[in-house]
Amino acid sequence: MTTVGFFNPLASRSRSRLVLNLGWVLADSGFRVVLVDLDPSATLTGLSGALERAGRTVFDELTRRKVAVPALAVPTPALAEIGESIWIAKADPRLAILDAAVAADPAAPPLGDALRSMIDAAAAEVDASFVLCDLPAGLGHMVRAAIECSNVICVPVSGRKLESYVAEGLEASWGSWRGEGVPFRDRFSWIEVHSGHDAENARIAAARFQERLGGAVMGSLKEFPSLSATASAAQKADVALTMADGVNVSQLAAVADLRRQHEVLATALLRASGVTDDDAFRKEVELALYTVLSEEMPAALDTLSSGTSIHSIEDVEIERVDVQRGGVRVAGAASVSVGRDGEDTTMSFPMKFDVALDRSHASANRVMRLDVDTSSSHE
């Protein structure tokens, strides 16, 4: 499971909308996702349509976990399902008092420990691959605790004039936090957010942050304000809007454009998080390749013998993964082991593959490339 913290010290709805859209695209590509709203403004909760739903909030859970009770006896926040394979842990305005409460009580258990425990429990409840946390503005205790818990730290920057000062402030804060032992277990990822005309300002701002704090630019994102207004009214992700939500034909093109942008960002997040190096994902690729080869034997193998059958797929090395609607496209190398009917021995051949994995179970896996080198083999 990978925890990703999204924050910018300056208040903006763009951050919350980015979390919702990115979470939606990841869920649509087959990953199970939990969104955690840590902002007292509860913007993410409102955008997702979960604001009026009953159930415990993040505040309820964090205050419970700061009481001396066994961790296993403490329930997780009531996760609200907002789509297939995507849930949200809701915020509420009372989160605003946590910073003051932590500052006033030095003896209180560390907020980071409580938050990490809550995130782990929420992810385990739905077997999530990703937890995306929407952090509040500022550099308070909640932001620091969430950064402690995050494997990847994503910062959307838009080139606003104040952000030049923010870069200096962040550099000073990170320096002091590192001195106090706050771990930065991964790198910063900067996302250039713009509306088209100000793209260059966003690029310059991201470069300034990168120069001061390191990390890498994950990508850029062009916003469509007209879609944002419709999505807010519909209480759903911009990338999920349809004509039934009130968008017109020209806006549907903008929805498709926005979705492609988020797929690129989701792909970059997969690479930064290392999720595709997970054994479970590798096994999924192995099974998909086995199924594809079993259904249609490549010509190179079919000519070996009329009785040739696929024995196993081994040594999968994933070279590229791209997020797309309904699944992921995976390219790499592997070893295919084949046997002949009536014989106990098998032969293995190197293979290059490029396959679109359907993880929605709505269609079959699609083969873009499947090359087996039968000139090189071993038993």
Closest by CA to 372, choosing from 276, 299, 285, 312, is 299
The residue from 277, 295, 312 where one domain ends is 277
Q: Which of 5-9, 98-102, 229-233, 320-324 has the lowest mean pLDDT?
A: 98-102
Q: What is the mean pLDDT of residues 117-123?
A: 91
Q: Is residue 11 situated within a structural domain?
A: yes
Residue 185 CB: number of other CB atoms within 10 A? Answer: 12
Task: Return the H-helix or E-strand segment holding 88.
Answer: strand 86-89
Asked if pLDDT for residue 323 goes beyond 70, the answer is yes
Task: Return the H-helix or E-strand segment holding 227.
Answer: helix 225-234
Give the tens place of pLDDT for each residue, 194-206: 877 788 888 888 8
Q: Is residue 339 situated within a structural domain?
A: yes
Give CA separation, 271 vs 152, 201, 237, 264, in Å.
Answer: 11, 26, 23, 11
Asked if pLDDT for residue 337 goes beyond 70, the answer is yes
Q: Which amino acid is at 73?
A: A
User: Are 32 and 10 contacting, i.e. CB atoms less than 8 angstroms apart?
Assistant: no
Number of domains in the chain: 2
Which residues, 6 or more positions from 76, have their beta carbon under 8 angstroms from its beta carbon?
61, 89, 118, 121, 122, 125
pLDDT of res. 343: 66
Q: 357 is in which domain, residue-wise?
A: 280-372
pTM higher than 0.75, yes or no? Answer: yes
Q: Which two tokens stand for residue 275?
A: 């999720």
Q: Residue 221's domain is classified under what CATH number? A: 3.40.50.300
Tokens 């932590």 sit at which residue? 102
106 vs 235, residue with greater confidence? 235
The residue from 231, 259, 277 where one domain ends is 277
Q: Is residue 199 situated within a structural domain?
A: yes
Q: Is residue 377 situated within a structural domain?
A: no
The residue from 219, 252, 277 where one domain ends is 277
Give the tens place of pLDDT for each residue, 281-295: 888 888 888 888 777
pLDDT of res. 135: 93
Closest by CA to 63, choosing from 107, 118, 104, 103, is 118
pLDDT of res. 243: 92
Give the tens place of pLDDT for each residue, 161-182: 666 667 777 777 766 666 565 5
Asked if pLDDT for residue 379 goes beyond 60, the answer is no
Residues 338 and 243 in one domain: no
* Euclidean distance between CA atoms 309 and 314, whole angstroms: 15
Residue 264 CB: number of other CB atoms within 10 A? Answer: 17
Q: What is the mean pLDDT of residues 31-59?
A: 89
Q: Residue 366's domain is classified under what CATH number? A: 3.10.450
* Euclidean distance between CA atoms 182 and 174, whole angstroms: 9
Residues 244 and 324 in one domain: no
